A and B are shown apart, each in its own frame.
Chain A
C-alpha cells in the first residue's frame, strides 16, 4: 500500500525523516509543492496532496504551509479507534487503509491540520515523508530532514 504512494520510480524505504518548513517567509504561494504531492500519485490536479498552503488571512499577509511534523507521540494515532494509524519508528505515522473506517477523528485531532481528507475515498491522506514536494519548492521553504535523536517533534 505504501510503496505505490511513493513518487514514480521510488521504492526505497525512507526512515526517520520528516518534512520541515524551513522558512515560511520565503513562500510565494505557487503551490508547486501541492501539485508535486498530487503528482506522486500519478495524476495531475490537487487531490491527494498531503501538504497544504493557504494565505495567512489574505495574500497581503503571506502564507501558512502545513506539513506533517512526524510527531514522536502523534495525537492522530492516539484517537484512531481501529489502530489504522501506527507510530512509525522515529516519529510520524503509517496508515493501514484497510483498517480505516473513515471516522475523521485523526483529522480533528491533529492540531496543525496536517491530516487532509480524501472525500472520494473517505480516508485520511497521510504524508509518507518522501520529500518529493521539497524537490519542487523553488525557494527552499520546505525540506526533508533527518529527525534528530530524541527530537521533541
Chain B
C-alpha cells in the first residue's frame, strides 16, 4: 500500500490505566490486508490460552481494511474477542458507519485492553483518545438514549460512528450486543458483555481524511465498475426493495422457516410478517451503511395510540430484517407485525442479540409448556406462543434477572437447558442459537462447524437449496469440502471487510484491480492463500481453547423436524464434521 496510507496504524487502548498508544503494524496489514485476517492475528497476540472472556485479559480487536473509504460496500468492521457465550473464538461483524469512521480516524485497527475501574466511554478523534466518564450513563434503560446523549456531547456529526452497549451488556448477558449507530450491531457471541465487563459503555469515533491512491485512472475506473455493478444488480435491487425480509416467504414456502421452537417449519402467519407485507404497509424509510449505495436497512413507521389519552399517537421508526423476524416472529409464533416490531424494539433498547433472544424465549416457552419450569420460575409470566406483550416483559427480565431461571436464560438456550432439561429442543449449535434456515444438513453443518457458528460463515442453506432444486443426493464429505471452501473464500471478503451481500460484485479479479489501484499488489492465488490461512488460524485458536467438532451437541429437534430435504441424518452430520478438524 502507499506509504502515506494510515491503515497500518493500530490504536492500543489501555482501559485499566486510561492510556493509549499507536503502533505501526504494517507487518500485519501487509500479510493479511485487514479485517478478519489482521483480527485473528491480533487476537493471537493479545489473548493468552484459557483467558476468561469477562476478565480484563480478554482483548477486543476492531479491524477494518484497505478498501474502506476507497470503494463502495467495503463497509464492515470485524470484532475479534473471546466469546463469553461460547467460551471460544468470538467474531462479529457490524456495518453502519463504523468501518468508514474508524478508517477516517486514521486507524486500521483498534485494540481494547484491560478494564476501567469506573464506567467510561471513548471519544476517538484523529490523534486523540478521550476517556469520558460514563457513570451517569450506566444503567440507562435504552440504547437509543445512550446514542442520543453521545450524539449531543461529542463532535463530528456526519463523519462519525457511535457504538454503545445497553443494560444487557452491563449485566453480563452472554449474548449482549454492541449497538452501532442505530439499527446495526455487533450482534452475535456477546461482544456487549465484554464491553460491559470492561466498563466500556461506548465508543464515538470520527474523522475525515484523504486516502492516497497509487493509480488515479485505474482507481476511478474500478470504482465506477464496482459502483455500477452494485447499483445495477437485480440481487442488490431486491436487498434495497424488500431487504433481507424477502426471505420469509420463500423459506416458508419450502418448509424451512423455524416455527414455534422448530416444532414445525412452516408458519401460518408468514404472509403477515413477510418482507412484501412490511414494505407495502409499514416501510417508512431506508438507510444505508456508510459508502454503500444499496441501502438494505429497512425501517417500519409504526403508529401506536397512547394507552390513556384519546387522539394521541406516537410514531416510531423500528428496524426489521429477516433474522429478527424469524427469531422474534415465527419461532415464537408471533404473526402480528406490530408485535414483532415492538418485541424487536425491546431487544434493541436492552442491547441484546435478536437471534439468541428469540431462540432462548422459544426454548423457555416450550420448557414451560412441558412443565420443566413453572410460572414461579418465569416470575409470573405465562409465556405462550404468539403473546408478544408477555415476551417483551420477559426480554426485560433476561436483563434484570429477578430469578435463577432468568439468570440461566441470560447465558443462552444451551446453558439453561443444561440446568432445567429440555436439551433436545434447545436450538443452539456450537453453543450459538440457530438462525432461521431449516433447509437441510448443509445449513446445520455451517452452524456447527463454521468458525463463528454463524449462518454467514459458509451459507450452507445455499448448498441445501441447490440440492433440493437438482434432486441430487448430498454426500457428507463433499458438503464439508464445499462449506470449507466457501468459508475460506469468505475470509478474503471479511479481511477486506467487504459486505457479504456484495460477494458477487467483488470477484477475485475485481478485488485484485481494486487493491492494485490503491497500491496493493495481490494475485487471486495470494488472496485464496490468505483466505485458507486465516481460517486455519481461527481453527487453531479454537482447538487451543478446547473446541472439538466431534463432541458437538446436536439437539434432536433439529434432526426430527423434516427439512425440504427430509429429516437430517445424524450420521451424515458426524461424517461431514470429521472433515472440520
Instruction: Name A's B-contacting residues (CB within 8 A).
Output: 8, 28-32, 35, 38-39, 41-49, 52-55, 57-62, 136, 138-139
In the complex the two chains form, is B210's CB within 8 Å of A45's CB?
A: yes
In the complex the two chains form, is A44's CB within 8 Å of B290's CB?
A: no
In the complex the two chains form, is B287's CB within 8 Å of A49's CB?
A: no
In the complex the two chains form, is A8's CB within 8 Å of B292's CB?
A: no
Question: Which of A8, A46, A57, A138 sits near B220, CB closer than 8 Å?
Answer: A8
Closest Cβ neighbor of B69 among chain A residues: A45
In the complex the two chains form, is B317's CB within 8 Å of A136's CB?
A: no
Instruction: Name B's A-contacting residues (CB within 8 A).
Output: 69-72, 100, 103-104, 144, 147-148, 151, 157-159, 181-183, 208-213, 216-217, 219-220, 223, 227, 231, 285-295, 297, 299, 317, 518
In the complex the two chains form, is A59's CB within 8 Å of B209's CB?
A: no
In the assembled complex, which residues on chain B have CB atoms less than 8 Å from the CB atom of A61? Answer: 317
In the complex the two chains form, is B147's CB within 8 Å of A58's CB?
A: yes
Closest Cβ neighbor of A66 among chain B residues: B158
Bound-state Cα–Cα, A45 to B212, Å:
8
In the complex the two chains form, is B213's CB within 8 Å of A52's CB?
A: no
Bound-state Cα–Cα, A98 to B289, Å:
38
Tell me, rounded to whole Å, the shortest Cβ–Cβ distance linking B364 to chain A.
Answer: 31
In the complex the two chains form, is A59's CB within 8 Å of B182's CB?
A: yes
In the complex the two chains form, is B209's CB within 8 Å of A47's CB?
A: yes
Closest 6 CB pairs of A and B: A54-B158, A30-B288, A44-B211, A28-B295, A45-B211, A44-B70
In the complex the two chains form, is B219's CB within 8 Å of A32's CB?
A: no
Question: Which of A58, A62, A139 sits near B148, CB closer than 8 Å?
Answer: A58
In the complex the two chains form, is A46's CB within 8 Å of B69's CB?
A: yes
Task: Taking A30-B292, A139-B295 as given, write out 7 further A-B residue pairs in contact, using a Cβ cutoff of 8 Å, ordered by the A residue number.
Answer: A29-B290, A31-B288, A44-B211, A45-B104, A46-B159, A54-B157, A136-B227
In the complex the two chains form, is A59's CB within 8 Å of B287's CB?
A: yes
A60-B295 CB under 8 A given contacts A8-B217, A32-B72, A45-B211: no
In the complex the two chains form, is A29's CB within 8 Å of B211's CB?
A: no
Closest Cβ neighbor of B184 among chain A residues: A59
In the assembled complex, which residues on chain A have CB atoms less than 8 Å from the CB atom of B147? Answer: 58
Please list 29 pairs of residues, one from A and one from B, whose beta carbons are closer than 8 Å in the complex, sorted by A's number: A28-B287, A28-B288, A29-B287, A30-B293, A31-B291, A32-B227, A32-B291, A35-B69, A38-B210, A39-B219, A42-B213, A42-B216, A43-B211, A43-B212, A44-B212, A45-B70, A45-B209, A45-B210, A46-B104, A47-B208, A49-B208, A52-B158, A55-B157, A55-B158, A57-B151, A59-B287, A62-B285, A138-B293, A139-B295
In the complex the two chains form, is A58's CB within 8 Å of B104's CB?
A: no
In the complex the two chains form, is B210's CB within 8 Å of A60's CB?
A: no
In the complex the two chains form, is A60's CB within 8 Å of B216's CB?
A: no
Tell me, rounded to whole Å, the shortest Cβ–Cβ distance linking A58 to chain B.
Answer: 6
Bound-state Cα–Cα, A61 to B299, Å:
11
Bound-state Cα–Cα, A35 to B74, Å:
13
In the complex the two chains form, is A44's CB within 8 Å of B518's CB?
A: yes
Tell me, rounded to whole Å, the shortest Cβ–Cβ distance linking B143 to chain A.
Answer: 12
In the assembled complex, which residues on chain A have CB atoms less than 8 Å from the CB atom of B231? Answer: 138
In the complex the two chains form, is A46's CB within 8 Å of B208's CB?
A: yes
Tell me, rounded to whole Å, the shortest Cβ–Cβ distance linking A28 to chain B.
Answer: 4
Closest Cβ neighbor of B223 among chain A residues: A39
Closest Cβ neighbor of B301 among chain A residues: A60
In the assembled complex, which residues on chain A have CB atoms less than 8 Å from the CB atom of B291? Answer: 30-32, 35
